[in-house]
Amino acid sequence: MRMSTEPGNVIQRMSRRSPKGGRPTQEVAAQLGAHILSVALDQFGRTGVEGTTMDAIAATANVSKRTIYLRFGSKRDIILRAIEHGFACHFDPVAAARPPDGPLKERLLYVATKFLNASLKPGVCNLEKLADWALEHAPDIFDRLQNMMNDGPVTLIRSVLEEGVRDGEIAVSDMEFTTRFAFDALVRSPRYRILRVGELANHPRARREYLDRAVELLLKALAT
């Protein structure tokens, strides 16, 4: 059973050390680190990078500022680590899951639904705000986020399309372009229509109907 990373539970466990002293267990230390990064990501999303101080992160996480600096070194470092943590929480589990066997349309729908649903979570909206900041102020951090996206969601969609080519269900002349087009059409576009312009209702039926039509159109264009 996973231990809660709520502030009180984590701090209580940190305080339950052996009477002989010593460092906390690796498990507890890892949970505290994850808790701090979750708090930092939320703070960056709420008040922006410039409006978030290390003092605010420490106070909200119920730890000392010294603990923050010992673990992460600098505000820039905690930004990068918070991005990695958020991505690992929201996208890595989806990217690691293998789509169920079946027709290509059902496999694409499965992957697209999982990634679209994940992209609509509040934590991902915080990641997006950090990405916007990094694009202007820290290109290396932005590149790191792009690489994580390419290594996770984009790669999984590519693998599904490649299986479709091997099975003779579709023909693709430019896999790189097709993969990115599919990701845009199945994840980025509906997310934008839901969150930014309100053209698509944010409930399962509306998302499913959109993805059904988008996948069918994509596969028609790629049909052998």
User: If the chain, 224 residues long, is cut into consecutive pieces of 10 residues, what is the mean pLDDT of each piece?
Assistant: 45 48 70 94 93 95 94 92 91 86 95 94 89 91 89 91 96 96 96 94 96 97 90
Rounded to a whole number of angstroms, the distance between the first and last alpha carbons of the chain is 48
Q: Which residue has the tokens 């390419």?
A: 150
- CA pseudo-torsion sign 74, 151, 112, 5: negative
**Rounded to an integer, what distance in angstroms lies between the CA atom of residue 35 and that of residue 80?**
15
Spell out the domains of the chain, with CATH numbers in brackets.
7-74 (1.10.10.60), 91-222 (1.10.357.10)
pLDDT of residue 23: 62
Alpha-carbon Rg for the chain in angstroms: 21
The reported pLDDT for the residue numbered 96 is: 84
pLDDT computed for residue 19 by the predictor: 46
Instruction: Name the amino acid, one letter, at 200.
Output: L
How high is the pLDDT of residue 22? 54
CA distance 71 to 78: 9
Instruction: Determine the Cα–Cα distance for residues 101 and 148; give it in Å rounded to an integer.
Output: 26
DSSP string for 151-211: IIIIHHHHHHHHHHHHTTSB--S-HHHHHHHHHIIIIIHHHHHHHTS--S--SHHHHHHHH
Residue 5: predicted pLDDT = 44
State the pLDDT at residue 16.
47
Distance set, CA 88 to CA 38, 76, 91, 99, 172 (Å): 11, 19, 6, 19, 30
The count of residues in the chain is 224
